[in-house]
C-alpha cells in the first residue's frame, strides 16, 4: 500500500511516497541517497525501527514504514549497495539501528554531523536544525521529533517532518565538503566515514559508550 502527499521545499514541489513494509521493487534512485530513520526511542535493542526516509535529491522522497519482525529486502538492497553513497546526519545511530532491525549495514556513508564537527569548529551546535539554518538559511521544524512513529497511520505533520529531514542533506553535503576541502580536513573526514560501519557494529555488539582505544 502506498500513500502519496506533496511537500513544498524552497518553492519546489516534492512528492512524498509512503510505503508500508518495503520499497516497491521498481523504485530507482539516481546517484547518492539521503537516508534518515525514526524509531520508538533512542535505546538500541529496546526501541524498534519504525520509519526509513530516502531521497536521491530529486523531486520525490520515499518513506518506508517498517513492520515488526518483517524484512524489507528492497530497501535493504538499496542501503547495502556498495555503488551508492548514503548521506545521513548522525549516521552512527541510524546505521546501528538498521543493522539491528534489518540486518543490513549501510555503506559507503557520509555523515553530515561528523563533517560539521570537523569543519565548523567555531561552534558546538551540530544538530541538523542548526547546521541547515546556518549553511542553507532554511528552518527545519523539530516539532514532530518526539511522536509516535509506530502508529499504523502517520499524520500529515509526521510525514512532512520525516521528509524534510532528508531533502536538505544533499545540499548540506556540498556546503560541508567545500569547508572541509578549504581547511584541508577532507581526508580525515573520509577516514571517519570509512570507520563508521565498524563503530556501528560495536554499538550493536554491546560497546556503545566504551572507548576501546582508551588506556584504561
According to the model, what pLDDT value does residue 165 have?
87
The Cα 16–Cα 55 span in angstroms is 10
State the total domains in the chain: 1
* Closest C-alpha to 113, from 125, 126, 124, 101: 126
pTM of the model: 0.94
Q: Is the pLDDT of residue 52 over 70?
A: yes
CATH of the domain at 165: 3.30.420.10
Residue 53 lies in a domain: yes
Per-residue pLDDT reduced to its tens digit, 15-42: 999 999 999 998 999 999 999 999 999 9
Omega before 108 within 30 of 0, i.e. cis:
yes
- pLDDT band with cut points at 50, 70 and 90 for residue 7: confident
Q: Where are the beta strands (DSSP E) in 40-99?
A: 49-55, 60-65, 86-88
The Cα 45–Cα 37 span in angstroms is 15
Q: How far is CA 33 from CA 54, 124, 154, in A?
A: 6, 27, 23
Average of per-residue pLDDT across 148-170: 92
Residue 84 lies in a domain: yes
Residue 19 lies in a domain: yes
* Closest C-alpha to 18, from 47, 60, 58, 57: 60
Residue 45 lies in a domain: yes
Domain that holds residue 193: 2-205
According to the model, what pLDDT value does residue 210 have?
86
Residue 212 lies in a domain: no
For the chain, the residue count is 216
Per-residue pLDDT reduced to its tens digit, 168-195: 999 999 999 999 999 999 999 999 999 9
Residue 215 lies in a domain: no
- By the 10 Å C-beta count (0-12 exposed, 13-18 middle, 19+ buried), 124 is classed as exposed
According to the model, what pLDDT value does residue 176 have?
98
CB atoms within 10 A of CB 216: 3
According to the model, what pLDDT value does residue 10 have?
55
Q: How far is CA 210 from CA 66, 67, 94, in A?
A: 30, 31, 18
Residue 172 lies in a domain: yes
What percent of the chain shows pLDDT beyond 90? 81
Residue 115 lies in a domain: yes
Amino acid at each position: 500500500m502506498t500513500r502519496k502527499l506533496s511537500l513544498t521545499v524552497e518553492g519546489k514541489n516534492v512528492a512524498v511516497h509512503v510505503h508500508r513494509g518495503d520499497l516497491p521493487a521498481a523504485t530507482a534512485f539516481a546517484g547518492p541517497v539521503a537516508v534518515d530513520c525514526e524509531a520508538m526511542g533512542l535505546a538500541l535493542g529496546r526501541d524498534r525501527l519504525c520509519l526509513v526516509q530516502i531521497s536521491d535529491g530529486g523531486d520525490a522522497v520515499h518513506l518506508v514504514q517498517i513492520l515488526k519482525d518483517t524484512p524489507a529486502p528492497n530497501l535493504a538492497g538499496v542501503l547495502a549497495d556498495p555503488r551508492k553513497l548514503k548521506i545521513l546526519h548522525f549516521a552512527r545511530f541510524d546505521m546501528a539501528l538498521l543493522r539491528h532491525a534489518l540486518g543490513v549495514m549501510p555503506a559507503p556513508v557520509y555523515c553530515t554531523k561528523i563533517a560539521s564537527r570537523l569543519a565548523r569548529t567555531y561552534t558546538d551546535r551540530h544538530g541538523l536544525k542548526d547546521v541547515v539554518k546556518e549553511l542553507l538559511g532554511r528552518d527545519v521544524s523539530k516539532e514532530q521529533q518526539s511522536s509516535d512513529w509506530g502508529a499504523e497511520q502517520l499524520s500529515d505533520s509526521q510525514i512532512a517532518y520525516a521528509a524534510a529531514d532528508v531533502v536538505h542533506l544533499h545540499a548540506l553535503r556540498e556546503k560541508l565538503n567545500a569547508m572541509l576541502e578549504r581547511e584541508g580536513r577532507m581526508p580525515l573526514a573520509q577516514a571517519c566515514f570509512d570507520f563508521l560501519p565498524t563503530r556501528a557494529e560495536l554499538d550493536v555488539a554491546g560497546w556503545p559508550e566504551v572507548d576501546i582505544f582508551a588506556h584504561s
